[in-house]
Amino acid sequence: DAGVIQSPRHEVTEMGQEVTLRCKPISGHNSLFWYRQTMMRGLELLIYFNNNVPIDDSGMPEDRFSAKMPNASFSTLKIQPSEPRDSAVYFCASSLYTSGSGKTQYFGPGTRLLVL
């Protein structure tokens, strides 16, 4: 298996522009997570889906952030409009969750976002 795939790997954009990050989870996994990593705040969970349904989006910083999972093999995280403070590494992770097991998450390589 190719693992979790994220694109782009690097993104440089100007303040005010829309940014879309993409994630393809491991085939067969039913949970998907979006994280943001910064020096100041560490690894933060932004939102997670179970069976394509958003379960908890309490970590999404504000309305400028939105995430979708239209099917089991694809998810997007969108920032509109982007701001310099959004600069971070964004990770997508997936897992095969079943009650009582399957809590190991498999992370993608991350997207390094720089907003100028």
The Cα–Cα gap between 25 and 3 comes to 7
Annotate each residue in 60-89 with x if it binds other proteins (CB under 8 A) or - if it does not, as one string: ------------------------------
Annotate each residue in 23-42 with x if it binds other proteins (CB under 8 A) or - if it does not, as one string: --------x-x--------x
Find the distance separating the first CA and the last CA of the chain, reported in whole Å.
36
The Cα–Cα gap between 69 and 51 comes to 9
Considering only residues 12, 103, 114, 116, which one is a binding residue for other proteins as defined by CB under 8 A? Answer: 103
> Structure tokens of 71?
């099917």
Smallest gap from residue 21 Cβ to other proteins (A):
13
Considering only residues 69, 79, 82, 110, which one is a binding residue for other proteins as defined by CB under 8 A? Answer: 110
Using rule CB under 8 A, residue 48 touches other proteins:
yes
- Name 101's Cβ contacts closer than 8 Å, sequence gap at least 6: none
- Name 30's Cβ contacts closer than 8 Å, sequence gap at least 6: 50, 51, 72, 95, 96, 97
User: Which stretches of the chain bind other proteins, using CB under 8 A?
Assistant: 4, 31, 33, 42-43, 45, 48, 50, 55-56, 91, 93, 95, 97, 99-100, 102-110
